[in-house]
Chain A
Amino acid sequence: MTKERLISFENVSVSYWQNNMGIHSIKDLVTTRRNPFQSKPILKNISFDVCKGESLGVLGRNGSGKSTLLRTIAGLVKPQEGKITIDGTFAPILAIGAGLELELSGYENMELLLSLYGKARKNTNAIQNIVDFSELSDEVLRMPAKRYSSGMLARLAFSISIANEADILIIDEVLAVGDQGFQLKCMDKIYKIKSEGKTILFVSHAPSEVLKICETAILLDNGQIVHQGSAKEICAMYEQLF
């Protein structure tokens, strides 16, 4: 069986502009007359492929470029060099709380994110699924999200993220803050999504979780792929880092 490639990266490099003078100020620009921004490479020469139905774990120290890699895959960051081929749709990346509008209520957030994602505006079915999965009460969902605990935010974020039925699910450490019941529920859901033949990109600092979900993994360090291979191998290497 030939595998269908879903994501393919060829020598992709991403750099961010960085203000190296500390103060965001026009004054400095005028007085020193030099470009206040320097290009700082975040990802260097990244190449990998993910096939349909395969799940990829991304491991690495803090600041090694994991989140940037996920954003590049999702098309949020445009690479300066290299070629990316993507053949599928994405669920929104909801790292803890990001993407939720804190002043809006849970329901308003659902509606906003669903329509931004391109679902029909009054998709009661999708909203019901989110409510059911998040196990948040009606009263909680009417409150502005700023009053939620971090666990409740994670519940809402994860529930919205999986409600989109995309081909590729990107999970960026969202599971860390939920209580044990919800974590188990999320893992179950992830297995289920996986068994439906969808692709999962999973960032985590818990090698045991990566082992459970992913077949292959990559280890990032300083913006470069140090190793790629089977999840088992990479998890062992990750543990040796520290």
Chain B
Amino acid sequence: MQNISRIYALSKRNIILRYKNSLVGFFWGFFKPLLYLLIFIAIFSKIPSNHIDNYILYVTSGLIFWFFFSNVTNQSVGSIISSAGLIKSLNIPVLFFPLSEILSELFNFILTILVFLVVMHWFGITYSFRLLLILPCVLLFSLFSLGITLFLSAINVFFRDVGILWGTIQPAIFYLTPIGYREDLVPPFIVQFNPIYYFIKLGRTIFHESEVPSAMLWMQCICISFGMYIVGAFVFNKLKNQFISTI
């Protein structure tokens, strides 16, 4: 219980810090996906072999997932370094720092999904109880993101290059994930080995195809997210006792 209020306090700090001194704060979160949506509409929707029904719904449902992932990892890759002062003065588990970053971003993500659900009314979404399946989907994706975050933030303490490198390769991952174009336009072996693809496909099946995702796809997402979490937590635990000597 005490730990829950600690994580809550840290998440709240993250949200306050992120929007401090900015005029429209939270709404900047919509600006970035919107810009990418316009790029996709202006360029990729013109490609003849890229014909998709309800194109805007297709792109946006991918974009909101991508930007959750991208924001989470970018915010939290440096979370341990930037909280050096607290880590050096209070005896609380270091895990709480990346975890609180995920939670504050998750709060944003859920608000974004709510706005998305309303706006997509005009772009062909069909409302039914099926949409509730998005909750387990978001949870799995968060677990996957937590795994990546633990891995990156732990290594980043010792090699600051990781944070820079991660920012650099992100656009590559973005374009190798079929977000604004059909899956068959990306080489199949790349799609298969892109873990993010499975989560985006899961979300898109619910939002765009208006179907219940297959058990196979759920299993794939469950395996990827738990696998990534285990790897991340293992690396983090191996290194966490030495964080304080380097930050």
Q: Which residues of A contact B (CB under 8 A)?
A: 16-19, 24-26, 29, 37, 71, 74-78, 90, 92-95, 97-101, 103-104, 108, 111-113, 115-118, 120-121, 144
Contacts and interface: CB of A to CB of B under 8 A. Distances in A.
A209 B8 CA distance: 39
A99 B85 contact: yes
Given A16-B242, A115-B8, A116-B9, A98 B89 contact: yes
A19 B157 CA distance: 12
B161 A101 contact: no
Contacts of A115: 5-6, 8-9
Most buried by B among A77, A111, A113: A77
Interface string B41-78: 00000000000000000000000000000000000000
A75 B12 CA distance: 25
A99 B88 CA distance: 7
Interface residues of B, number: 30
B161 A25 contact: yes
Contacts of A37: 158
B186 interface: no
Contacts of A113: 90
Contacts, number: 90
A112 B91 contact: no
A26 B91 contact: no
B241 interface: yes
A37 B92 CA distance: 25
A98 B83 CA distance: 10
A75 B89 CA distance: 10
A78 B9 CA distance: 25
A64 B9 CA distance: 35
A116 B86 contact: yes
B214 interface: no
**Chain A interface main SS type:** loop
A188 B27 CA distance: 50
Contacts of B16: 104, 108
B92 A116 contact: yes
B17 A104 contact: yes
A148 to B, nearest CB: 14
Contacts of B87: 76
A112 B88 contact: no
Contacts of B89: 76, 92-95, 98-99
Contacts of A19: 158, 246
B26 interface: no
A97 B89 CA distance: 10
